[in-house]
Amino acid sequence: MAAKTDIKGTDETRAGDVLHRMRLDIISCALKPGTRMRFETLKELYAVSFSTLREALQRLVAEGLVISEGQRGFMVAPLYLSDLQDLTDVRVLVDQECIGRSILHGDDEWEAQIIAAFHRMDRLKARLNDLYFMSDEWAVLHGDFHRSLVSACRSPTLLDFRDKLFQRAHRYRRMSCQFRTKWRPKDVEHRTLMETVIARDAPAAKNLIERHIRETTENVIQNAGQFLSTEPTAFPGILKSIAAE
Amino acid sequence: MAAKTDIKGTDETRAGDVLHRMRLDIISCALKPGTRMRFETLKELYAVSFSTLREALQRLVAEGLVISEGQRGFMVAPLYLSDLQDLTDVRVLVDQECIGRSILHGDDEWEAQIIAAFHRMDRLKARLNDLYFMSDEWAVLHGDFHRSLVSACRSPTLLDFRDKLFQRAHRYRRMSCQFRTKWRPKDVEHRTLMETVIARDAPAAKNLIERHIRETTENVIQNAGQFLSTEPTAFPGILKSIAAE
DNA sequence: ACACCACTGATTTTCGAAAATGTGAGCATC
DNA sequence: GATGCTCACATTTTCGAAAATCAGTGGTGT
């Protein structure tokens, strides 16, 4: 039945709830990349027991948001330049494929969902103007819009993978906001993307999504590239250096 | 750091060990697809406690080998025809990409690993002749060979995803062995694949791997297609029908 | 001075009992 | 006869204490 990972994580169990909250904290960088996650701390932060925490953490490891080592516990996955580049390439591959298939299979309802998602995103942006991209609410609607584009691709496996990649990438975008100097206007890109997809022009849409993804990554690197770790990540080594700051 | 899922699962903790054993049991179909996994049963089967089991199960869910629903527990992921087809398409996409990149980046050591892996697989096949494909040992060496082909692709994210797909696909291959009527000789295909990859002929290699994957799937469908479920899988519904058999 | 070992405190991992939840049977009602 | 309700049982989920493991410290021998 393919990957039933349920990216929402809200499976009405307590661990699912903690997973959900923890994930938001990680992708919003409220839990800083590279920080050690001690159980005592987390326990009072989320008000649940060891086992429940452990369960949520395990699932986050599978999503690539947390890493764990042997008997040494967990830490928020650090942000690496090399990881961002890897992520970018894979996202281009996967999103292109998903968009191609969606254009092939999508029906009227699919188009309607895209237009609706764009409208919601566009209106919110107008309301929040200028610092809209810092808002968590906008992050959700932006994510929804991009997902609507690929939602008709008819591959649960690919879609599930795509969602995880998108989430991981979001942490880098979020981090770069803080150091932002300039930000290119993405609303035009989004509109063009929508129009091209609905016009069923697959090659053009694939080009657009590639440019969209790669340019965003370049922006991130320009804004925050110097703050990204450069990979010398032995697990115990980093713990001290991070705890120190 | 990317996806650090550690497909071996042996992170020297007890849960890691259980994960490892359980995964083998699922892949080898010792735990039958679609069966409900009750804690009492698993507890004495693997001789660990609730929490430890739970932890291993969560990780298996992330790998797509187990599915879980709300407060209803876990079950071995069923095998669906539609899932197999989805899996096949995605594997073609991902393996082609990985092979292309490996051919681009691979060095002498990479070639050596491929040749060594092929040799190990080939010799074992000769020793086991005729029913080699039922052997668990061969499954390992066959997996190692395919992985060696793509191992130089320089994308942890893609490789990790590929490994999970390969594993999920293995369950279908394993199941079809039991109902096997005929089996095409794959050793020639493997040799050609190896030679083409080492000759750095990317387009040809991509064609070969696609044919290899798709033909294997067709074989599986011919042998065992009628035994695959056809997707009407509400969670509580299937429980009774399976428990009954 | 340097390497090695044992010990201590901090932290993670595991356990099994207790709480929460789902499932199905039996009964009342329409 | 079918539908909805309540209760008892089976099963999962959560909890916090106990065991296992790791990291750092001090002492000993060379």
Domains in chain B (CATH in brackets) are 14-78+232-244 (1.10.10.10), 81-226 (1.20.120.530)
Phi, psi for B66 (deg, rounded to 5): -135, 145
Say which of A2, A62, A67 has its CB closest to residue B62.
Answer: A62
- Dist CA B194 CA B171 (whole Å): 24
Question: Which range is most confident: A214-228, B60-74, B84-98?
Answer: B84-98
pLDDT at A183: 67
Residues whose C-beta lies under 7 Å from strand C: A 12, 36-40, 50-51, 54, 68, 70-74; B 13-16, 48-52, 55, 70-72, 236, 239-240
pLDDT at B18: 94
Say which of A1, A4, A83 has its CB closest to residue B1.
Answer: A83
- Dist CA B79 CA B225 (whole Å): 10
Does an H or E element contain B66, and which?
A: strand B66-68
pLDDT at B5: 45
Best of A50, A75, A86, A95 to substitute, by most chain B Cβ atoms within 10 angstroms, is: A86
Q: Is the pLDDT of residue A55 over 60?
A: yes
Residues in A closer than 8 angstroms to B78, CB to CB, are 1
Residues in A closer than 8 angstroms to B71, CB to CB, are 12-13
Instruction: Please write the tens of the pLDDT for every residue from B207-231.
Output: 999 999 999 999 999 888 777 777 6
- Unique residue bearing structure tokens 């996202």: A91
The sheet that has A66-68: what strands, in order across it? A36-37, A74-76, A66-68
Instruction: Please write the tens of the pLDDT for every residue from A3-18.
Output: 334 455 456 789 999 9
Residues of A in CB contact (< 8 Å) with B are 1-5, 11-13, 51, 54-55, 58-59, 61-64, 67-71, 77-78, 80, 83, 86-87, 89-90, 93, 97, 154-158, 161, 165, 231, 233
The sheet that has B36-37: what strands, in order across it? B36-37, B74-76, B66-68
What Rg value do the Cα atoms of chain A yield, rounded? 19
Residues 6+ apart with CB under 8 A from B52: B14, B15, B18
The residue count for chain B: 245
Residues 6+ apart with CB under 8 A from B32: B76
Structure tokens at B147: 């992985």
Phi, psi for B130 (deg, rounded to 5): 90, -55
Instruction: Please write the tens of the pLDDT for every residue from A153-175.
Output: 999 999 999 999 999 999 999 88
Looking at residue B121, its amino acid is: M
